[in-house]
Each structure stands twice: as structure tokens, then as C-alpha cells.
Structure 1
Amino acid sequence: MVLEMVVGPVDRGACVRDLSQYPREVEYLYLPMSFISPDGTPRFTIGAAGLCVRVVPVRVNANLSARTVEQILGQKRRMHCAAFRFLLGELQGELARLAEAGGATARCAGDSTKNQDGTHTVEGLLDGITRQFEAVQRRHEAVDEWQYADDAVFQGLVAEMLDARRWAVSK
């Protein structure tokens, strides 16, 4: 089968004939995410060696708005880190509600075993929990974009993010 390609000036690929490993091969490279669609009725023709060859006319359309692989991976990391920031804001609100609903300030003031010198406060505890959650977030922001392409690594990062939130609320 031979694909007979019809291209326009924008959709034209790059000819790499001089770089081909085969002497008479003509090869073209097209933009990633280009779309190839049928453009007419397939026909049969007799090739140079006397063999019947199916010729399929197709049209190439370059997707000029398609992102590069690097941009897609960067977006995956940005989305994960944005979800982390969202969870941080949600966590801070939930911790404050839990502390208020549970009477944490009164319990802290009345617990002489933990507050002998008066420096142990609910605000300090909440800040410490938040800092630990933010440390996990910073580690995720430092992960290379290419690692986000590995499904096992990405799944581990998402699981760690959710575990960090559960852990923070359980304190």
C-alpha cells in the first residue's frame, strides 16, 4: 500500500532524503500531532516489478496549535502542583475548623503535660502541620517534568499528595 499525500504550503513536511539510510528512498517528516485523512477513492496500479499496488490518496493537516511533548509534560506537572496548592488551602481551612470544633485551644491550655511552659499553642501545631505538608509539596515541584511521563512515578506522587493530606488531618 502506498499513501499518496496531498499537502498545502502550511502542512508541508521536511524532506530528509539526504539523511535516509536507503539510497532511493524519499522520506518526509511532519509536525507531531498532524492528521492524515482520506482524500479520494483508493485505486490499484501496477508497480515497477509488475506487482499490484494499492494507492490511497490522503491529505495531511498539520495541527499548528498542538503542544510539544515538553509543553505537555510541563502542563502535567503544573496541574499536579496546582492541585497540591488547592489541597493546601483546603487543608488550612479544615484544620482551623477541626481545632475550633474540638475546643483545641482550651484543651491545649488545660494539658499540663504538653504545655508546661506555655509555648505549646494550637496555632504553632497548625503551622507545623502546614509546614510539613508544604515540604512534601516542594519535593513534588522539584521533580523533573520528564518523570511525570512515567505512570508509576506520577501515580506515586498523587498517592503521596493524598496521603500527606490525610496524615495532616489525622494529627
Structure 2
Amino acid sequence: MAASLMFVLALGAPMIASAQCVRDAFLAVSSPAPTGGLRNAVELTEAQLLALPTSIITTSTEWTPVSRFEGPLLSDVLKLAAVQGRALRVFAMDDYSISIPWSDLAQYGVILAHTRDGERMTRRRFGPLFVIYPRDKFAALQTPTMGARFVWQVCRIDVE
């Protein structure tokens, strides 16, 4: 990642990272360097993340019953990193990754949830960060292709 902008959310204890995660980083957001040069790192504390405006999506997922998910809009998190692109590749702690079109962020109001039903999510319960769409409001989100975009245990996002 030497040639990419690193945006690190330092929330709580360091995680045991997979090959796709950045060691001792809670979340890394990177984008290609326009000139191929090195980028600066920015760290966000848990307090800063929680200070972002919170959005709520009440929905079910393929793995959960209807639940109240809370967290910042994913677009707000990316604004803090000053990144833009056509798509995001979201990585989970277990090395799962999926590409999400940038247009989904505005079309569906995708959030990076940290809380479910009033409790902070843990690694054992889909956390600490979970990409959530308002699945129950849109029939188009109730397909296997869209279900694959609900990523839990998010540890890294690469802007493409």
C-alpha cells in the first residue's frame, strides 16, 4: 500500500488482520495515487467516527432478522478520506471482497454500520463494521448479487 492514500480508523484494540487488512488498523481506505507517488496517512479515532452524522436503516439481511442498523453513510466516511472513484472494493477480515459501484452510495444510502439494535457490533456479531443497504425497501436489493455486497467485519476499502 505504499503507493496509496491510507485512511485509518483506529477504533479500540488492534485486530488480527488477514492478508487483505492493514495490521493494527481498524479500517484502511486507499485510492490510486494520481502520479504514482506516496500518500499520507490519516488516522481517525473512535470518537471521530462516532461523531459523524448517524443514519439508521431498519432492514433484514440474509443472516439477520429485521434489525435497526446505525452508522455513518459510507459516502461520509469516504469524504473524510477525500477519495472518489467509480467503485469500491470492500475487504473483510476473512479475506472476502466484493466490488460495489460508487453509484450505490447515493442510490441506496449505504451505511457503514457499527451498531445493531442499540448495541455496538463485535467481530462475533457481524462487526465491528458492516456494510448495510436498505434491503427490505427495494426488491432489487433482494438478489444474491446484491446480497454479496452486505460485507461484515469490514477492514479495508480500496477506491477503484
TM-score (norm 1): 0.20
Greater fraction of residues in strand: 2
Q: Which structure: larger Rg? A: 1
TM-score (norm 2): 0.21
Greater fraction of residues in helix: 1
Relative contact order, CA 8 A, sep 6+: which one is greater? 2
